[in-house]
C-alpha cells in the first residue's frame, strides 16, 4: 500500500477554520476524532520528544495522549481551545511518564535536550544548532517550555497564553526577549 494511508486519506484542511467543525462532528461520531489526531499528531510528538528525549518513549506517550484525549473528549466543550486542552494532557502524560520511570530529576518537568545515541532519532546538527542546543539547555524550565510550545508544538501566542495561564502580550514579549538573548549569546559563542 501507499506509505501512509492516513496521509492519503487526509483531507488537507485549514486547522483553524475547520477545527470547530471537526470537533462538533467528532462529538457525534467518535471516529471523526481521527481528523483531530491527524491535525495535531506531529506537534504533540515534537513537543513530547523534546521533553522525553527518546523516540520510542515519546511515541508511547504521544499515543497515550491521544487515547486519553479520545476517552475524555466528551467532556471537552470549549471548542476554540482544543490545542491548549490537548497539550495540557500531553504535559500531564509526560509527567506521569517520568513518575513511572522514577526519574526524580524530571519531576519538575525538566528534560535535557535529547542526546541519546539512537540512530533513528539522531539528527545531524550544524555547529550553530549544537551551540543553540547548549544554550537552550541552560535556560530555566519555564523559558525552555516557552520555546518548546512556540517552535515545536507550533502553538500561536494566544494558545500559549491560555496554556500557561499568562497574558498573551507578556508571552509574546518573553518569547522575543528569549530569542534576542539566544541570538546574542550565540554571537558571543561564535566569536
Partner 1 sequence: MNEKYSTPQFEESIRKSFGVPEIRSKFVDEVYSDLMQQGVAKSRKARPFLGLRPAWTVTLAIFSLMIIGTLVIGPQRVYAEFLKLFGYIPGVGIVDQSSPIRVLAEPVSVTRDGITVTVTSATLTGDRTQIEYRIFGVPGSAYPDREDIVGCMQREYLLLADGKQLAQINYGYEPVPMSVNEAVFVIPCISGTLPGKSPENWELPLRFVPAPPDLTVMPVTELSPSPQVTLTQNATGNGTSVPSVDNSVTVSKVIETSDGYILIGSFQPQSKPGESFQQTGAMEIHDASGKKVAYTYPQDVNEAINQEPGGTGWAAQFKAAGLVYPLNINFSGVHLLPSASDATAQFTFDAGSNPQPGQVWDLNQQIQLDGHTLTLVSITANSQRSYSFNFQVDPKVYSVGVQIEGFTPIGGGGGGGGGLTNGKFSTSLVYAQLPTGELTVDIFHMVLIGDSITWQGQWSPATPRTDLPANPTLQSGLCLTADSLTQLQPAPSTVANGKALIYEKLDTGTWGLAVYNLDGRQKQVVVPNGNWGALSSDGSQVAYSASDNGIHIVDLASLTEKVLPGAGGFNLHWSPDGTQIAYVGMGDGVINSVFVITTDGTPARLISDLSYESIIGWSPDGKLYFVAPYTGGAAWKVYSYDLASGTTQERFTIENGTPKFLNPMLSPDGKWIAYRGRDNSSLYLVHPDGSDMHLVLDNVGAVGIAWTSSGWLGVSIGTDDPYVQKVLLINLDTCDSYILNGLHGQLEGLVIK
Closest to partner 1 by CB, 76 vs 104, is 76
Instruction: State in angstroms the smallest separation of the CB of 36 from partner 1.
Output: 10
Instruction: State in angstroms the smallest separation of the CB of 187 from partner 1.
Output: 11
Contact 50, 111 (CB under 8 A): yes
Distance separating alpha carbons of residues 169 and 160, to the nearest angstrom: 11
Instruction: State in angstroms the smallest separation of the CB of 109 from partner 1.
Output: 14
Closest to partner 1 by CB, 14 vs 102, is 14
Distance separating alpha carbons of residues 179 and 68, to the nearest angstrom: 34
Closest to partner 1 by CB, 64 vs 106, is 64
Residue 118, C-alpha cell as written in the block: 539512537
Give the contacts of 84 (CB within 8 A, at least 6 positions apart).
155, 159, 162, 163
Closest to partner 1 by CB, 78 vs 105, is 78
Instruction: State in angstroms the smallest separation of the CB of 93 from partner 1.
Output: 8
Distance separating alpha carbons of residues 131 and 26, to the nearest angstrom: 44
Amino acid at each position: 500500500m501507499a506509505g501512509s494511508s492516513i496521509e492519503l486519506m487526509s483531507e488537507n484542511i485549514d486547522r483553524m477554520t475547520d477545527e470547530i467543525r471537526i470537533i462538533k462532528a467528532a462529538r457525534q461520531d467518535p471516529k471523526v476524532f481521527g481528523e483531530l489526531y491527524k491535525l495535531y499528531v506531529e506537534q504533540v510528538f515534537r513537543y513530547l520528544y523534546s521533553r522525553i528525549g527518546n523516540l520510542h518513549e515519546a511515541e508511547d506517550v504521544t499515543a497515550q495522549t491521544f487515547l486519553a484525549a479520545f476517552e475524555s473528549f466528551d467532556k471537552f466543550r470549549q471548542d476554540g481551545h482544543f490545542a491548549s486542552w490537548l497539550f495540557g494532557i500531553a504535559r500531564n502524560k509526560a509527567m506521569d511518564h517520568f513518575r513511572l520511570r522514577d526519574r526524580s530529576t524530571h519531576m519538575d518537568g525538566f528534560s535535557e535536550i535529547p542526546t541519546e545515541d539512537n540512530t533513528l532519532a539522531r539528527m545531524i546538527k550544524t555547529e550553530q544548532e549544537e551551540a543553540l542546543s547548549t544554550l537552550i539547555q541552560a535556560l530555566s524550565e519555564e523559558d525552555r517550555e516557552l520555546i518548546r510550545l512556540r517552535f515545536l508544538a507550533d502553538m500561536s501566542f494566544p494558545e500559549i497564553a491560555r496554556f500557561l495561564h499568562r497574558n498573551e502580550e507578556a508571552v509574546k514579549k518573553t518569547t522575543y526577549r528569549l530569542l534576542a538573548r539566544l541570538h546574542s549569546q550565540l554571537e558571543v559563542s561564535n566569536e
